[in-house]
Amino acid sequence: MYSFKNDYSEGAHPNILKALVESNMNQEDGYGNDIHSKNAIIKIKELMGNQNADVHLISGGTQTNLIAIGAFLRPHEACISVDTGHIAVNETGAIEYTGHKIITVKSKDGKLNTDKIQEVLDFHTNEHRVKPRLVYISNPTELGTIYTKEELKTLSKFCKSNELILYADGARLGCAISLKEADISLCDMCEFTDAFFIGGTKNGALLGEALVIKREDLKREFRYHIKQKGGLLAKGRLLGIQFEELFKDNLYFELARHANEMAKLLTMGLIEANCKLLIDSPTNQVFPILENEVIKRLEKNFGFYIWSKVDDKHSAIRLVTSWATRKEAVTEFIKELRK
Amino acid sequence: MYSFKNDYSEGAHPNILKALVESNMNQEDGYGNDIHSKNAIIKIKELMGNQNADVHLISGGTQTNLIAIGAFLRPHEACISVDTGHIAVNETGAIEYTGHKIITVKSKDGKLNTDKIQEVLDFHTNEHRVKPRLVYISNPTELGTIYTKEELKTLSKFCKSNELILYADGARLGCAISLKEADISLCDMCEFTDAFFIGGTKNGALLGEALVIKREDLKREFRYHIKQKGGLLAKGRLLGIQFEELFKDNLYFELARHANEMAKLLTMGLIEANCKLLIDSPTNQVFPILENEVIKRLEKNFGFYIWSKVDDKHSAIRLVTSWATRKEAVTEFIKELRK
Amino acid sequence: MYSFKNDYSEGAHPNILKALVESNMNQEDGYGNDIHSKNAIIKIKELMGNQNADVHLISGGTQTNLIAIGAFLRPHEACISVDTGHIAVNETGAIEYTGHKIITVKSKDGKLNTDKIQEVLDFHTNEHRVKPRLVYISNPTELGTIYTKEELKTLSKFCKSNELILYADGARLGCAISLKEADISLCDMCEFTDAFFIGGTKNGALLGEALVIKREDLKREFRYHIKQKGGLLAKGRLLGIQFEELFKDNLYFELARHANEMAKLLTMGLIEANCKLLIDSPTNQVFPILENEVIKRLEKNFGFYIWSKVDDKHSAIRLVTSWATRKEAVTEFIKELRK
Amino acid sequence: MYSFKNDYSEGAHPNILKALVESNMNQEDGYGNDIHSKNAIIKIKELMGNQNADVHLISGGTQTNLIAIGAFLRPHEACISVDTGHIAVNETGAIEYTGHKIITVKSKDGKLNTDKIQEVLDFHTNEHRVKPRLVYISNPTELGTIYTKEELKTLSKFCKSNELILYADGARLGCAISLKEADISLCDMCEFTDAFFIGGTKNGALLGEALVIKREDLKREFRYHIKQKGGLLAKGRLLGIQFEELFKDNLYFELARHANEMAKLLTMGLIEANCKLLIDSPTNQVFPILENEVIKRLEKNFGFYIWSKVDDKHSAIRLVTSWATRKEAVTEFIKELRK
């Protein structure tokens, strides 16, 4: 049984484990004040070409989202997200628990644009309604699609002129910035957003996301918020060591590139097998539409989630590749499918 | 420079790292549904002699406290804690952030008793004041003292008859239940509390606490609360593997015993050197009162925190030992002190 | 200038003011423990035919919603509401501030049904999503439509079998239960919901809503929640006296009947003048679609809100009648319209 | 039976009722946009000699405290209050429900000073503890004592230089600023605090407090916060009319002066009868220490609360006078006492 369920089925990239072992008995200060966290943060600032941004290493994606959004907003302010946004559907109301409404707008491809944001602004004009204040995007989106540089630039400009905070969830950011045909870099993410995070968990780390805060007024006393939400690990070295390794010799980008390539291989195999895709995703999530009977057959040897019902006989499934996906597994899957 | 600052200066016990490496490329389900988490939980239940308790593996202490207390209480209910309680002073208002007041009572040795709880109950009698509902104790306390079985039994009985939830923070629980002269076991902790946690981070793990919920009405839909607060790790295996190792062949207890022994060695050395102690602590935190000049001298070669001012010339410092403390470091410290 | 903007443009029904004056210098206990509040509650229980329900008098609608929903739900639980629901759009995120998500479903007539609820349940099946727990309906709805007894019964049954709490916002309840052609009484509201409130502010009181809690497990320590959210008035007599008067000699029902009749008069006049209506509302809110030029002309002498754009030349406006609406004002409005 | 339980046993001053009756059928805009609220706010600004301050009319004291403090603080920030502060003990954890810790300091006379605040600042120095940010004082305090102008000035200066917000609860403010021997005016309150409120409920209104926000950065979008917490009354006119009347011809000050005079009469009678007082309070709360047997006798004809046990035979009781207290009642009480 081989699993395409997600990009966190395996442990960590071997380099990370090696570094953990080698540094294990060194004494380090706690709570992110260790040398590894410091080094990792320096490296990330270098790669973004921004020395003024603040970087914080936090355990997971939901944790990062709730700490950041909870810290950025005043009580009456709200988020805008597409209806498939991770914070909107898959975080058990974590953002609402911090007291903030998520205003959702419909989107077919998981992407947000300025027209949709403008509609929300037009509807929320006085104190009887929440004040829209933070625009949440995911890059890649929950459907595997990505934003072009031009799209990010447009969103950025719109948010600035409307006093909105632009925040990007980068749980799978590696796959967006490592895509050959894409034109987005880590520098662009930093330039065009007010804050965003660089996902580690889904790209080879045991756990860990690097939250980048560029905008000055959002930085203040941020470590208080991490601690208050239980996000400040005593052994912060665990996060530091991992990001140190991930950003050594471009490992982070290579791992993401592999995930993308495996996804491309899958996609090509599916197309050759005359499968339709629910959505055209260039990153590590692939959504083929298959006959229910075929799905049942595939489930015997492969793990994956059924994404949505398409019609009485067909459903879309989700196949996720990662840094750890073996090429043979992809070939096997396509072979099994074509039977 | 050798650090006695805390019990999380080093990485993890080598067995844990070994297990991480060996299991690394196995595919596992996410969010705590992996085989390692399941095994660890089975083992913990066995050791507690209670198959009905629920066990959840969570990243850290503050995280565990805020998830548990936030889930257990209704909005108008409050905690009772001693004024030195971790939730009261060292968690950046994490519990208040979940909406609940912490009513503090004075205590010299960090311990709570039924008289103090009764006083709180007597003061809070109607809807203009919060409703005291959860009794928070730490074992060992933040001052290194521990509860006897008799004391726990008395608290337990009192809480039951007053419809109070008894919850124990066990960030350093290992040191309490591994103490030779103590009479408390893991079984007792489970029997006498409604919920408690078994600390991993401060006893050899990279991170991780095992929350035990015994009381039936507190168990319901608990995973929702973990997820909502960002505490459900995608790679839950990381927690599972660690607790699996910690509870294999009594490793957890041995590590704690070592920490206690190193503390005892320190204490004996201090006493022989005619040092007074701020408090008589049998576990891995030692609080000698030293001349400020001596402290300055020691700081050149040893790391530790100054705990409190005693008089113009003296202060108490805190020395923490752990599973990783080297005997030579203790000897060196005492030697340096006696100079 | 005559205002049809809302049903709270005037002060209180004269009987209420008279009672306030007459009882003014009597000394009463505070916080709802006065004789008037007690009498009002007894009367309300009588009218509902339910002596076991709890009744609490609270200042306003948003206040009542946030206290009730905040008290009824555990942190991970969510509300289901139509997208036009008052809690969803017009309470500045008050419910989200208590920590709970509102899951909205589309509805043309402002009403919820079991199919829509079932869809929500089907989507929310594990701990990565919120747990739908409370069904919020308004009766009349924000669009003036009402639920039939059969519809309420069906909702009630569905909620019971799915462990959902059925909660009804009755800010304009008088208009629903006083409608000649309707078949819903105060008894039915109590029978078919778990909790609901009887609006005073929009039916002749200066302020005040009577919250009814029928379901046993929702009643516990409820006054704590009212106090905690700042809803327990020191001079609770102000609420008591008003509900005492409103439920004396059927005043409450007569006032609502008048509001409905004035709305009917308006509707008939509009239809005779060949106006289309945005929605067929039998209660005190009327939504005619008018030419923008006509609207501009009417605005010179009448106050009302523009509800929505219909096309480039037409908009729907909202006209609200109340206990205080003068028949002449309605006649004038129609006359002005027909010019 | 005559009640000295509190200052909200009666309804409203007759002028207020008269104004309610006279304006009753005028149509007004809702939510505080009525002419009466506007007039009242203009008048209050005049009396404070500050045209730039914002004034908001809100229903009650707990409501005002929780809205203001909830709006002023970021999630990790905390309040400092004396241990007898209203927010600390008598608001059912309303402030904690907004997510903020209240750090309490001991005080015998209910007053705060800069030494006590400094101690709190010294203890809270990093992100593991909350950030003290708002200093809460009551004037008069919950024990009836008041701040001198010099004391307020000192607090003000200290708070400014430590970036603390100085906020004053003025539930009984009238009694402080109407005291002959006091040197505090409404202007001083505005000058020396960042925000404070002028209590109406306890000085002749049915309900209502006027919140004054002087500090610029605390003003922004404040009406959103009022609405979100359910504090924006649809018929805001009810609050407007009352404050209009209270500040017409110095009525507010006269009512408070009467309350103070009745308290002085009581105090003098008590002293003449050789009663000791628990605390020397110059305002409308008097705390005589009486034999328990005497208390029992007095309870037959007078209502009051027992404040605290003094010794086995004596307790302190609390007697509250108000604008409505009849001189004869005071005389009667003293007569009864002397029997």
Residues B262 and B202 in one domain: no
Query: Is residue B128 pLDDT above 90, yes or no?
Result: yes
DSSP B155-198: HHHHHHHTT-EEEEE-TTHHHHHT-TT----HHHHHHH-SEEEE
Domain boundary residue among A224, A246, A268? A246
Which residues of chain A fall short of a pLDDT of 70? Answer: none
**Cα–Cα distance between B292 and B312 in angstroms, integer?**
9
Which 8-state DSSP code applies to residue D16? H
Tell me the shortest Cα–Cα distance from C239 to chain D, in angstroms: 10
Contact C79, C108 (CB under 8 A): no
Which residue out of D58, D233, D320 would a mutagenesis test of the C interface target, given it has the greatest number of C Cβ atoms within 10 Å? D233
**Cα–Cα distance between D81 and D101 in angstroms, integer?**
10
Strand arrangement, sheet containing B131-138 = B54-58, B209-213, B195-199, B165-169, B131-138, B77-82, B102-105
**Cα–Cα distance between A132 and A135 in angstroms, integer?**
8
Interface size C-D, in CB pairs within 8 Å, comes to: 158
The pLDDT value recorded for residue D43 is 98
Query: Is residue C180 pLDDT above 90, yes or no?
Result: no
**Alpha carbon of B314 to those of B263, B288, B310, B339, D125: distances in Å?**
21, 10, 5, 18, 22
**Nearest CA among C171, C335, C187, C172 for reference residue C265:** C335
**Cα–Cα distance between C297 and C284 in angstroms, integer?**
23
Q: Both tokens of residue D62?
A: 């707990």
Q: Check which CATH number belongs to the domain holding B238 and give it.
A: 3.40.640.10
Contact A333, A4 (CB under 8 A): yes
Contact D308, D297 (CB under 8 A): no
The pLDDT value recorded for residue B129 is 98
Residues D138 and D202 in one domain: yes
The separation between the first and the last C-alpha atoms of chain C, rounded to the nearest angstrom, is 17
Full domain range(s) for residue C287: 2-7+252-338
Tell me the shortest Cα–Cα distance from B226 to chain C, in angstroms: 9
Query: Is residue C339 pLDDT above 90, yes or no?
Result: no
Residues C185 and C44 in one domain: yes
Tell me the shortest Cα–Cα distance from A104 to chain C, in angstroms: 10
Residues A231 and A117 in one domain: yes
Nearest to B224 among C76, C221, C232 (CB): C76
The pLDDT value recorded for residue B180 is 83
**Cα–Cα distance between D241 and D244 in angstroms, integer?**
5
Residues B207 and B299 in one domain: no
Q: Classify B303 as helix, strand or coil.
A: strand
In terms of C-beta density within 10 A (0-12 exposed, 13-18 middle, 19 or more buried), how is residue A279 classed? middle
Mean pLDDT of chain B: 97
**Percentage, residues of chain C above pLDDT 70:** 100
Interface size B-D, in CB pairs within 8 Å, comes to: 48
Nearest to B76 among D75, D89, D93 (CB): D93
Which residue out of C96, C127, C225 would a mutagenesis test of the B interface target, given it has the greatest number of B Cβ atoms within 10 Å? C127
Nearest to C96 among A92, A101, A127 (CB): A101
Do B76 and C232 count as a contact with CB atoms less than 8 A apart? no
Do D227 and A131 count as a contact with CB atoms less than 8 A apart? no
Do D224 and A99 count as a contact with CB atoms less than 8 A apart? no
**Cα–Cα distance between B58 and B31 in angstroms, integer?**
11
The pLDDT value recorded for residue D159 is 98
Nearest to C225 among B75, B223, B232 (CB): B75
Query: Is residue D182 pLDDT above 90, yes or no?
Result: no
Amino acid identity of residue C37, one-letter, is S
Do B75 and C70 count as a contact with CB atoms less than 8 A apart? yes
Residue D26: closest C-alpha in chain C? C10
Residue A23: closest C-alpha in chain B? B11
**pLDDT tier at D48, thresholds 50, 70, 90:** very high
**Alpha carbon of B145 to those of B148, B282, C72: distances in Å?**
10, 6, 40
Residue B58: closest C-alpha in chain A? A230
The pLDDT value recorded for residue C196 is 98
Q: What is the largest CA-CA distance in chain B?
A: 61
The pLDDT tens digits for C263-322 are 999 999 999 999 999 999 999 999 999 999 999 999 999 999 999 999 999 999 999 999
Which residue out of A81, A101, A127, A305 would a mutagenesis test of the C interface target, given it has the greatest number of C Cβ atoms within 10 Å? A101
Mean pLDDT confidence for C105-133: 97
Mean pLDDT of chain D: 97
Which residue out of A62, A79, A92 would a mutagenesis test of the C interface target, given it has the greatest number of C Cβ atoms within 10 Å? A92
Contact C208, C58 (CB under 8 A): yes
Contact C266, C325 (CB under 8 A): no
Chain centroid to CA D44: 17
Contact C28, C327 (CB under 8 A): no
Tell me the shortest Cα–Cα distance from B206 to chain D, in angstroms: 20
Residues D278 and D310 in one domain: yes
**Nearest CA among A338, A321, A336 for reference residue A144:** A321
SS (H, E, C) chain C: CEECCCCCCCCCCHHHHHHHHHHCCCCCCCCCCCHHHHHHHHHHHHHHCCCCCEEEEECCHHHHHHHHHHHHCCCCEEEEEECCCHHHHCCCCHHHHCCCCEEEECCCCCCCCHHHHHHHHHHCCCCCCCEEEEEEEECCCCCCCCCCHHHHHHHHHHHHHCCCEEEEECCCHHHHHCCCCCCCCHHHHHHHCCEEEEECHHHCCCCCEEEEECCHHHHCCHHHHHHHCCCCCCCCHHHHHHHHHHCCCCHHHHHHHHHHHHHHHHHHHHHHCCCEECCCCCCCEECEEEEHHHHHHHCCCEECEEEEECCCCEEEEEEECCCCCCHHHHHHHHHHHHC
Residue A139 lies in a domain: yes
Domain boundary residue among D246, D261, D289? D246
The pLDDT value recorded for residue B339 is 85
Per CB-CB distance under 8 Å, the chain A contacts of C130 are 92-93, 96
Tell me the shortest Cα–Cα distance from C223 to chain B, in angstroms: 6
Query: Is residue B333 pLDDT above 90, yes or no?
Result: yes
The pLDDT value recorded for residue A220 is 97
For A43, how many CA atoms within 13 A lie in the half-sphere containing its CB? 22
Query: Is residue B157 pLDDT above 90, yes or no?
Result: yes
The pLDDT value recorded for residue D181 is 80
The pLDDT value recorded for residue A107 is 96
Subunits adjacent to chain A (3 or more Cβ pairs under 8 Å): B, C, D
Q: Check which CATH number belongs to the domain holding B332 and give it.
A: 3.90.1150.10
Total structural domains within chain B: 2
pTM: 0.97
Tell me the shortest Cα–Cα distance from D103 to chain B, in angstroms: 10
Residues B324 and B240 in one domain: no
Residue A18: closest C-alpha in chain B? B21
**Cα–Cα distance between C277 and D86 in angstroms, integer?**
53
Q: Classify D151 as helix, strand or coil.
A: helix
Per CB-CB distance under 8 Å, the chain B contacts of D76 are 92-93
Nearest to D127 among A71, A131, A224 (CB): A224
ipTM score of the complex? 0.97
The pLDDT value recorded for residue C7 is 97
Mean pLDDT confidence for D278-298: 97
Query: Is residue D339 pLDDT above 90, yes or no?
Result: no
**Percentage, residues of chain B above pLDDT 70:** 100
Contact B221, B215 (CB under 8 A): no
Helix (H) or strand (E) run with residue B104 in it = strand B102-105
Residues C185 and C309 in one domain: no
Do D235 and C66 count as a contact with CB atoms less than 8 A apart? no
Residue D75: closest C-alpha in chain A? A71
Residues B28 and B176 in one domain: yes
The pLDDT tens digits for D224-239 are 999 999 999 999 999 9
The pLDDT value recorded for residue C120 is 98
Residues A48 and A170 in one domain: yes
Which residue out of D62, D96, D97 would a mutagenesis test of the B interface target, given it has the greatest number of B Cβ atoms within 10 Å? D96
Residue D208: closest C-alpha in chain C? C233
Strands D195-199 and D165-169, how do they pair? parallel
Subunits adjacent to chain B (3 or more Cβ pairs under 8 Å): A, C, D
Residues A69 and A180 in one domain: yes
Residues C46 and C138 in one domain: yes
Domain boundary residue among D246, D274, D304? D246
Do B129 and D99 count as a contact with CB atoms less than 8 A apart? no
Subunits adjacent to chain D (3 or more Cβ pairs under 8 Å): A, B, C
Do D59 and C91 count as a contact with CB atoms less than 8 A apart? no
**Cα–Cα distance between D135 and A255 in angstroms, integer?**
52
